[in-house]
Structure 1
Amino acid sequence: MSMRRALASLLGLIGLGAVLAGINMVAEARLADLQIDLTAGHIYTLSPGTRRILAELRQPITLRLFYSRDLGTRAPSYDGYHQRVSEMLDQYARLAHGMLKIERYDPEPFSDAEDKALSFGLQAVPIDQSGAQVFFGLVGTNLLDDERAIPFFQEQRERFLEYDLTRLVYELSNPTRPVVGVMSSLPIDGDPRLMMMAQGRGRAGQPWIAMSLLHQSYEIRSVPLKVWKIAPEIQVLLVAQAQHLPEETQYAIDQFVMRGGRLMLMVDPQSAAQADLPGPGGMPQTDTASDLHRLLDAWGVLYDPNQVVGDLTGAWRVRASPGDRMTVTDYVPWFNIRDGINHDDPATADLSQITVADPGFLTKKPGADITLTPLLTSSPRSGLIPAEKLRIDPDPAAILAGFKPEGGPRVIVARLHGALRSAFSAPPSAGAGEQRPADLPPFKDHTDGAANLVIAADVDILADRFWVRSQDFFGQQDAEPFSDNGPFIANLIGTLAGGDALLGLRARGAGDHPFILVDDMQRRAEAQFRRTQQDLQKHLDETEKKLASLREGAGQQGASQAVLTPEQRAAIDAANQEIVQTRQKLRGVERALREDIDALAETLRFFDIVLVPAILTLIAIGLGLLRHRRRGRARS
């Protein structure tokens, strides 16, 4: 009886195993694309844009994943990251319906796989002193032998994995270089006349370095400032400091957007780069503002060309005016942005610092049915400065003394997303002696879907002086970047060129924030010093005028030598005493500034060296005593 029960149980288990195996085979064949993502943040759920790109593939693409298992052994966190990359690639292959092939390699030392990884330009990372190297990268190729690669999957960029993979596939499926049109009143793409005058010395007349980066990835076409329509092959239009555009050009830009064209619009209340360029008479230019009010207002964006944003946080240290007691000072209209970078956008996620100069700001028009997503913002310690104060020989000390940080932060660069209406009701009339082109496309009064634009209230982001240092290296000009302005522009153009599919991909994480308490304290104290200095200097100037008038009055009495009356002498003595007191007050402010910074530094040093180790020691002692008591109770 027991043997029969045992045999029946065994047969039951075999049957159950067969049923489970059959269910698994059916699920593998029929339900491979069915997923339920229960993770926080839905890290395994692909965006509609990715699904559309994969479904529309028209030529085979091969993706080769190189992963050294030794990397996972040495750093287990990479093992989990590799698993996620591998699973996402499998998901891509399923959605591509046979147009995407995945190959996997373990590039062991001195193997063919390692040689292949190096030939593709993947990054080899040493893991010990023996010279052993590991790989974790991806290479994609198409039928035309075009290559795109991710040299190494950085852990810091894991939250942008879908964006990086989708962009690689998109570029391989669209191998022709996107066409970017450039319209500007500035010589951002080079000036042959200045280049001839420079005769090979320096970078005068050459394309700005930010434009050189764009030339590496895109076909750049110059668009004139007077045009009735934008060429249909232009996918992205960069309008940077295009001044005094005629009505027909504004209409061309408007209709380009209405027809789904991608626009990056850069305006500026005061272009420091343009102010450095010689005007018609050789003097510095004063017409340095740009505004496209008609277009921005119709699209729901407010921008004031008469106000410049200044910021105490990250302000540049510049040489003070001649005769100033302090040799350098903060120039608040020029500042570095660190915390104000949107790290949830793929174009700005990896950037650490952007420098702006005399920027304006953007706000959403009340009632506008658009989304304005900030990419760059000033700090809470920002304020507004009238643009006219910066156009002719600005005084950095006077600007700092009169600066009031209030109303911040302010949006300097933003993405605009939403359905837009045209700024025109019909094509404009042709000027005298002109006529509209016969092939002018029909007028469109609205976008068919949601438009995606980038609007910047600063064009100086493009200028070399605000993000690279040029130095001579054995007769060659070498540019060393200190800010991420160039990659910032290139990344933004890249997301626009990729269309809605790439624009819809966003990060699921947050960036970190540097510690700037000491910097903030120093800038607040210096701003206070500058205000005090300006008030006292004004009082001294008035006193000197009074003394000059007293001496002049004594000289008019006819004496060969001016004889001062007791009252005049008393006034002079009082002024001298006032000068001494003024200098003492200035030294007191400087001393207080230094003492506050030194005190904070000492506090931080004490916290790092003494307090934190002491707290950890006390916690360890407490845990030890608690464990000792528990053991004593267990023994008793």
Structure 2
Amino acid sequence: MSDTNFLPKPRSRGTWLSIGVLLAVTALAVGVNLLADRFLSRARIDLTQQRLYTLSDGTKQVVSSLRDPVTLRLFYSRRLGAAVPVFGAYADRVREMLREYVALSDGKVRLEVLDPEPFSETEDRALAYGLQGVPLDNAGDQVYFGLVGVNLLDDERTIPFFQPDRERFLEYDLTRLVHELSNPTRPVLGVLSSLPLNGDPRAMMMRVPGAGQPFQAMTQLRQFFTVKDVATDAQAIPPDVQVLLVAHAQDLPDATLYAIDQFVMRGGKLLALTDPHSESQAARPDPTGRPPASTASSLDRLFNAWGIEAPSDKVVVDQRGAWRVRAGPNDRVQGVDYLAWFSAQGDSLNRGDVASAELSQVTFASAGLLRKREGATIELTPLVTSSPQSALIDAARVRETPEPARILAEFKPEDQRHTLLARVRGVLNTAFPEGPPSLPEGVERAAELPAHKASTEGPANLVIGNDSDILEDRFWVRVQDFFGQQVATPTSDNGALVTNLADTLAGGDALISLRSRGESLRPFTLVEEMRSDAEARYRQTERGLTERLQATERRLRELRQGSGSGSQPQTVITPEQQAEIEAARAEIVRTRQELRGVQRELRQGIEGLETWLRIINVALVPALITAFAISLAVLRRRRRAAARG
């Protein structure tokens, strides 16, 4: 036999061709990955139901308009995520969201992720920035999960600790932080009111304790804004005012109404609070010591032109959250629910708006309703509404000498909610199409008035409420003197609401457009529905089996003890009793088996769903890719066959 039979045969041409194709495919895959990493690093596909990782247009506007760089430092202790997986999942979302900001900013946003180990310089930096440390175990070591933003002027903004229960507002919090760093100066808030919001010098001269002090709501606003008073006869709103608060401004002249109108037409943000009956004004006598002749205010000329109705002849009364007040001297009861004073709470607060989402309750007093005029094209979004246990009554019934007991006795709920406070958005037309109004005789027109505008250039953003008493201290805060220091203890969230509203308006359209987003840690709603259905279906059977088991066990105890004459127990068990004992034991075993079967059926559907989820997660995607590849190969073969033919 020749040795040549044992020599290796040369590789066929097809084998070398296959190896070459394999190498080419490998090189192509590596090249595609390198090119994708170079040119498609910003490409994203968000497959979450609520588009959790897709930035809103408002955020894109804020980030893309950055002029100077902003550095974001995320301090996150990895030990926190390892110990509490909920925080680990949330930290992943925060990181991904911040990377979206970086990718969108064209280099203007820089991100640093730091892990502050105990007793490290990084932990010292976190403490210096004022971030909140949380003890993770009994050893006392602190963990951190906060954000610090710094601009070129060394201005700092922080989120001390990311709370998972605020995940819905993650984008708003991050965008607000970036916006404040790009606009570090305090916004200017103009205040136009007939109420002594900034204090009453006359009352202070009388040296009455607590009298004449600024409203606590204004004290809070001064912490975030530069507050500027606007006269009730002003012919123009100062150009540096970004947000205008008009609160119970009575009998404004046409020139001042025109100034407010043109402020809105030029893109200014308005927070307007009218009132069918101001409890705040009613409690303050005029300079002569007499009660005020009128306690109502309206901006009907402006509102009617803008498509809004805020009637001043009706008051909303609400049984839910009504305040308990002292009854009249002729009433037998000591206290009675005054339905015109109530605290809106629960589903009366819009949880989708960042200004009202985290509030507990907001107190209203003799409030009116808001509604959109018929045919108006504006978007009116309620922020606070009454409960369905509410109704409308004539405003005259709460003026002068209200009768809480009679209002309660005659109350009939309308099973309808009434809007008390709302956001208004839309393109608005001026209430003065003819231009500036004529002035009274002897009044000179102010110089250099801005040019008249007939409408807003884009959608206007307003907040309208028909109750100015949300600012009144006695309805939401208790102020006490502590060794000469005024200490304010809120009893309701009125002050927080007003501050939040002004804050969102000052942030511009970009921040106003941001609403709450969904949560990444979503519950398995289908599993919960299956569990509820299964429990409802099997719980009755389980209870019947349990009762039968208890009865059988009780009968077995009686048989074992026997029943003798008198007080002596029976010591000898008859064959009939022994047979009954064995039957009872068999019944107990059978009942327990049925109970286990019921519990097994209770879990069977859920376990089946989990199995299908695993199959889908593990096998479906590869199966789809395989099917796609096979379809592509078949299609190519048909094309080649058609080309040859």
Q: 1:2 to 1:269 in 2, by over 3 A?
A: farther
From the superposition, tell whether residues 20 and 621 of structure 1 become closer, same or farther in structure 2 (CA, over 3 Å).
farther
Structure 1 residue 54: Cα displacement: 1.1
For 1:428-453, what per-residue CA distance to the aligned partner results, in whole angstroms no more than 9, with x for missing partners?
01210123223122211111111110
* 1:116 is the counterpart of 2:125: yes
TM-score by length of 2: 0.77
CA distance in 1, matches of 2:601, 2:278: 72
- The 3 A distance-change label for structure 1 pair 13 and 66 is farther
Q: Which residue of 1 aligns with 2:358?
A: 350
Q: Where does residue 423 of structure 2 map in the other structure? A: 415
CA distance in 1, matches of 2:19, 2:470: 75
1:395 corresponds in structure 2 to: 403
Aligned match of 1:156 in 165, 168, 190? 165
Residue 426 of structure 1 aligns with an amino acid whose one-letter code is G
Indicate the structure (1 or 2) with the bigger Cα radius of gyration: 2
How far off is 1:4 after superposition? 6.8
Choose the corresponding residue for 2:494, options 458, 469, 485.
Answer: 485
Which residue of the partner structure matches residue 263 of structure 1? 270
- The separation in 2 between residues aligned to 1:2 and 1:379, in whole angstroms, is 90
> Structure 1 CA distance, aligned partners of 2:264 and 2:257?
11
* SS of equivalent to 2:181: helix
Question: Which of 453, 461, 469 is residue 460 of structure 1 equivalent to?
Answer: 469
1:41 is the counterpart of 2:50: yes
Moved more, 71-80 or 121-130: 121-130
The unaligned stretches of length 5 or more in structure 2 are: 1-7, 520-538, 548-590, 603-645
User: Alignment partner of 1:39: what SS?
Assistant: coil
**Deviations along 1:403-444, whole A, 9 cap, x unmatched?**
222162000000010001111121101210123223122211
Aligned to 2:305: 298
Q: Does 1:322 align with 2:329?
A: yes
Among residues 77, 90, 104, which one is paired with 1:68 in the alignment?
77
- C-alpha distance after superposition, 1:366-398 (max 9, x if no partner): 100100000000011111121111111312111
Mean Cα deviation higher: 273-282 or 619-628: 619-628
Distance in structure 2 (CA, Å) of the matches to 1:624 and 1:124: 48
1:494 aligns with 2:503: yes
Percent identity of paired positions between Structure 1 and Structure 2 = 54
Query: Structure 2 CA distance, aligned partners of 1:262 and 1:628?
Result: 61
Match of 1:207, as an amino acid? P
Q: Describe the superposition over 1:273-304 as per-residue Cα deviations: whole angstroms up to 9, x where unpaired.
A: 11111223323334211011100000001111
Deviation at 1:508, TM superposition (A): 2.9
Greater mean alpha carbon deviation, residues 6-15 or residues 458-467:
6-15
Task: Give the CA deviation at 1:142.
Answer: 0.6
- Cα deviation, 1:537-588, whole Å, max 9, x if unaligned, reads xxxxxxxxxxxxxxxxxxxxxxxxxxxxxxxxxxxxxxxxxxxxxxxxxxxx
Pair 335,426 (structure 1): closer, same or farther in 2 beyond 3 Å: same
Aligned pairs, number: 528
2:374 maps to amino acid:
P
Map of 2:191 onto structure 1: 182
SS state at 2:222 partner: helix
Specify the SS of the correspondent of 1:28: helix
SS at match of 2:53: coil
Q: Which region of structure 1 is more displaced relative to structure 2, 132-141 or 367-376?
A: 132-141
Counterpart check, 1:372 vs 2:380: yes
Q: Is the 8 A contact 1:228 1:251 kept in 2?
A: yes
Counterpart Cα distance in 1 of 2:484 and 2:19: 85
The answer to whether the 8 A contact 1:237-1:264 is kept is: yes
1:25: how far off?
Answer: 1.9
- Do the aligned residues in 2 keep the contact of 1:286 with 1:392 (CA within 8 Å)? no
- Kindly provide the amino acid, as one letter, of the partner of residue 261 in structure 2: D
Retained in 2: the 8 A contact 1:385–1:403? Answer: no
Paired position in structure 2 for 1:564: none
Aligned-residue CA RMSD (Å): 2.7
Letter matched to residue 597 of structure 2:
L
Cα 1:221–1:3 change in 2 (3 A) is farther
Q: 1:98 aligns with which of 101, 107, 110?
A: 107
| CA distance in structure 1 between the aligned counterparts of 2:462 and 2:233, rounded to whole angstroms | 22
Distance (whole Å) between structure 2 residues aligned to residue 615 and residue 60 of structure 1? 70
Structure 1 SS opposite 2:125: helix
Q: Give the one of 424, 444, 458 matched to 1:449.
A: 458
* 2:213 is equivalent to residue 241 of structure 1: no
Superimposed CA distance per residue, residues 319-353 of structure 1 (whole angstroms, 9 cap, x where no aligned partner): 11124222111110111111210010111111121
Cα distance in 2 between the residues matched to 1:47 and 1:504? 8
Correspondences of 1:15-54 after superposition (within 5 Å): 16-54=25-63
1:383 corresponding residue in structure 2: 391
Amino acid at match of 1:268: D
How far does residue 103 in structure 1 lie from its aligned partner after superposition? 0.9
Cα deviation, residue 476, structure 1: 2.9
For 2:91, the aligned partner's letter is H
Q: CA distance change for structure 1 residues 145 and 2 in 2, over 3 Å: closer, same or farther?
A: farther
CA distance in 2, matches of 1:615, 1:148: 62
Sort the Cα spacing of 1:491 and 1:8 in 2 relative to 1 into closer, same or farther, 3 A.
same
CA shift at 1:235, angstroms?
0.7
The SS at the match of 2:235 is coil
Cα distance in structure 2, aligned partners of 1:137 and 1:365: 46
Q: What do residues 71-116 of structure 1 show as CA deviations (whole Å, max 9, x unaligned)?
A: 2122211111111110111110111111111111112222222221
Retained in 2: the 8 A contact 1:239–1:265?
Answer: yes
Relative to the length of structure 1, the TM-score reads 0.79
229, 233, 250: which one pairs with 1:222? 229
Listed one character per residue, the Cα deviations across residues 109-159 of structure 1 (whole Å, up to 9, x for unaligned) are 222222211111112222233322221111101111111111111111111
Whether the aligned pair in 1 keeps the contact of 2:198 and 2:215 (CA below 8 Å) is: yes
The aligned amino acid for 1:274 is: Q
CA contact (8 A) 2:50 2:518 kept: no
Aligned to 1:573: none
Aligned match of 1:607? none
Structure 1 156/9 Cα, relative in aligned 2: closer, same or farther at 3 Å? farther
SS in 2 for 1:52: helix
Q: Which amino acid aligns with 2:409?
A: A
The residue correspondences of 1:158-173 to structure 2 (distance < 5 A) are: 158-173=167-182
Matches of 1:389 and 1:629, distance apart in 2: 62
Provide the rounded CA distance (Å) in 1 between the counterparts of 2:342 and 2:17.
Answer: 81
2: CA distance, partners of 1:474 / 1:3: 103
